């Protein structure tokens, strides 16, 4: 098996990392996003507490079926400004990594954790 070498981007300070607010939430709704340029899903994610429910668009149609997404916990950056994606406003960035074919695999906690849990 050959491992691809990935160039590390510009170094950042630890204080820069601390500016990111990455939280765990539970998907409470998942719907196809037919207006998106690339095949995507509109997610509603419950982060609990004062964060509440937030919307996100994710290009995850290859590995995930809508009915299996509801109830799944995911990690997301919750302090980016909202981003307009066609007719949809994405409020958080749901995190994922590419598989060998470049398709998105969601970043998820290994075990169930409280909604709103902060990554550190």
Query: What CATH number is attached to the domain comprising 62?
Result: 2.40.50.140
Angle at 67 between CA 61 and CA 71, to 5 degrees: 105
Q: Is 52 helix (H, G, I), strand (E, B) or coil?
A: coil
Give residue 22's pLDDT band: very low, low, confident or very high (50, 70, 90). very high
Mean pLDDT of all residues in 50-62: 96
Question: Max alpha carbon distance in the chain (Å)?
Answer: 46
Threshold 0.95, pTM exceeds: no
pLDDT digits (tens, 9 = 90+) for 36-46: 888 999 999 99
Tokens 């109830």, residue located: 71
On whether residue 86 sits in a domain, the answer given is: yes
On whether residue 14 sits in a domain, the answer given is: no
Structure tokens at 54: 């937030």
Q: Which domain holds residue 77?
A: 21-106
Q: Total domain count for the chain?
A: 1
């Amino acid at each position: 098996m050959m491992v691809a070498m990935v160039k590390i981007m510009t170094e950042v300070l630890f204080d820069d990392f601390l500016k990111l607010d990455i939280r765990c939430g539970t998907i409470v709704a998942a719907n196809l996003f037919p207006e998106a340029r690339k095949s995507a899903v509109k997610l509603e994610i419950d982060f609990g507490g004062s964060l509440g429910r937030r919307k996100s668009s994710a290009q995850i149609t290859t590995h995930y079926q809508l009915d299996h997404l509801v109830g799944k916990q995911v990690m997301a950056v919750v302090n980016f400004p909202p981003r307009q994606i066609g007719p949809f406003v994405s409020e958080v960035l749901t995190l994922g990594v590419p598989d060998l074919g470049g398709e998105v695999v969601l970043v998820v906690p290994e075990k169930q954790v409280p909604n709103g849990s902060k990554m550190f």
